[in-house]
Amino acid sequence: MKRKKRKYANVIMLLLIIFVLFFIVFQDKNKVVSAAELVESYSIDQKTAENKFLNKNIELSGSVKSFIQSENGSSFLELQTNTENMKIFCIIKDESTVQEASTLTNDSLVTVFGKCLGLNPTGYEKFSNSIFIEVEWIK
């Protein structure tokens, strides 16, 4: 009887190990993309770009165009793009990250990590033709 229980326990442990390894190997990795590549993806085919980036964590690199603090207290970091037709705004909510972003100078290279909210998400309609990233950290 003890051997049978041990055998079942070993099988369960083996299945658990296989599951964990499968999760580690095949989990959705963060996308690493430049500001120019992100804008190009959305310009070419918005639906394909949204399938690839929408509501996913991305690591986005680019040059700072400006740091914006709106009247309602919201903070944004605008990244330079290769076109004036589409913009990228990084929404910064964490106060320490706001402080860090406010020290960045125009044209400085930056990498932001956060969730892609897509093109013209709800609540940001006044920024037409803009991609938004909800920032977790900046480096």
Beta partners for 31?
A: 58
pLDDT at 24: 62
Please indicate whether residue 16 or residue 38 has the higher confidence score (pLDDT).
38
Angstrom CA distances, 97 to 10, 91, 94, 115, 125, stand at 47, 10, 5, 15, 24
Residue 29 — very low, low, confident or very high, per pLDDT cuts 50/70/90? low
Residue tagged 């310009």 (tokens): 43
Average pLDDT over residues 21-28: 60
Q: What is the pTM of this model?
A: 0.77
Q: Which domains does the chain have, with CATH numbers?
A: 31-138 (2.40.50.140)
DSSP 125: T
The total of other beta-carbon atoms located within 10 Å of residue 1's CB is: 5
Q: What is the pLDDT of residues 75-127, one digit of tens each?
A: 999 999 988 889 999 999 999 999 999 999 999 999 999 999 999 887 777 77
Give the Å distances, CA to CA, from 1 to 5, 6, 11, 14: 6, 9, 16, 20
Report the 10 Å Cβ neighbour count for 84.
7
